[in-house]
Amino acid sequence: MVRYFLFLLVLITILVVSIAGLRDYSFLPHKTKRPPIEIFPDMVRQDKVKAQAPSDFYDDGRGARANVAGTVPVGYSAPESSAQASEGVATMGSPYSVVVFSGKQDYADTGKIGTNWGNGIPFSATMATLERGRERYQIQCAVCHGATGAGNGIATKYGLVGVANLQQQRIRDMSDGEIYNTIVNGKNTMMGYGSVIQVPDRWAIVAYMRALQRSQNATINDVPTANRAALTGTNAASATTGAAKP
């Protein structure tokens, strides 16, 4: 009697473990498509709308609602103030405490002065601005335009054609406002990135793009006189030894 009972116990244990698996997924994976079991979900799943979650309350089933015409963004601050604020905390994380977007119509938000494209960054660009621009450029732009802006990003290796080479004279001559507008609204096959890049970041990207354009077309006259000797010296040395310079 006891023997049967113990036998049954061992059998059930083996059965449970072999069906349920071990919880250390790296040893015996139990990847599953079944949603996690929640035994008392009353407080765990509340009847409130969370970000990007669906809602049965509305006919279209969406929790997030589109803006009503004329909506003013909460907490919007002009690029000037956030650029100043960013200098103190540039070493760590995002310089913004709020999402910085605007529906305003001045130069900083549209890239236009009157009906023409304007030129210049609408706040004082510092090294921190350029570093921020580099970071944002590498996240959002380099995928197609490439790290140097030569229009050879990774997406072009997978069949994306018609990507602009940002080093072209046409784009070097383009005004800052028009480039800003291209970032926001797109152009030709490029779609607008205005919904994912905040206003000061757009200008930071424009500033960084200008730096890229200068860097790819630099001459010896752009090098500070103190450092020229070192550069020309290396060039002369490599020329005489025939070493390949990248």
Partner 1 sequence: MSNFFPRWANWLPLQLLVCGLVIGGPITLGIWYYFTPKYTRVGYQPDQPVPFSHALHVKQLGMDCRYCHSFVEVAGHSNLPATQTCINCHGQGKILPNSPRLAAVRDSWETGQPIPWVQIHRLPDYAYFNHAVHVNRGVSCYSCHGAVNEMSVVYEAESLSMKWCLDCHRAPENFLRPPSEIFNMNWHPASPEAQRELGTKFKEEWKVNPPVNCGGCHR
Kindly list the residues in this chain that would bind partner 1 in the complex (CB under 8 A): 5-6, 9, 12-13, 16, 20, 23, 25, 29-37, 43-46, 48, 50-54, 60, 62, 91-94, 96-99, 138-140, 143-144, 154-155, 158-160, 189-191, 195-198
CA neighbor of 137 nearest in space, from 125, 128, 129, 147: 147
For the CB of residue 193, give the shortest distance to partner 1 in the complex, in Å.
8
Residue with smaller CB distance to partner 1, 159 or 224: 159
What are residue 7's DSSP bridge partners? none
Residue with smaller CB distance to partner 1, 160 or 218: 160
Helix (H) or strand (E) holding 218: none
For the CB of residue 11, give the shortest distance to partner 1 in the complex, in Å.
12
Using a CB cutoff of 8 Å and minimum separation of 24, what contacts does 116-120 make?
A: 116/177, 117/175, 117/176, 117/177, 117/178, 117/181, 118/175, 118/176, 118/177, 119/175, 119/176, 119/177, 120/176
Q: Which residue has the tokens 């229009």?
A: 151
Residue with smaller CB distance to partner 1, 46 or 225: 46
For the CB of residue 22, give the shortest distance to partner 1 in the complex, in Å.
9
Residue with smaller CB distance to partner 1, 43 or 243: 43
For the CB of residue 5, give the shortest distance to partner 1 in the complex, in Å.
8
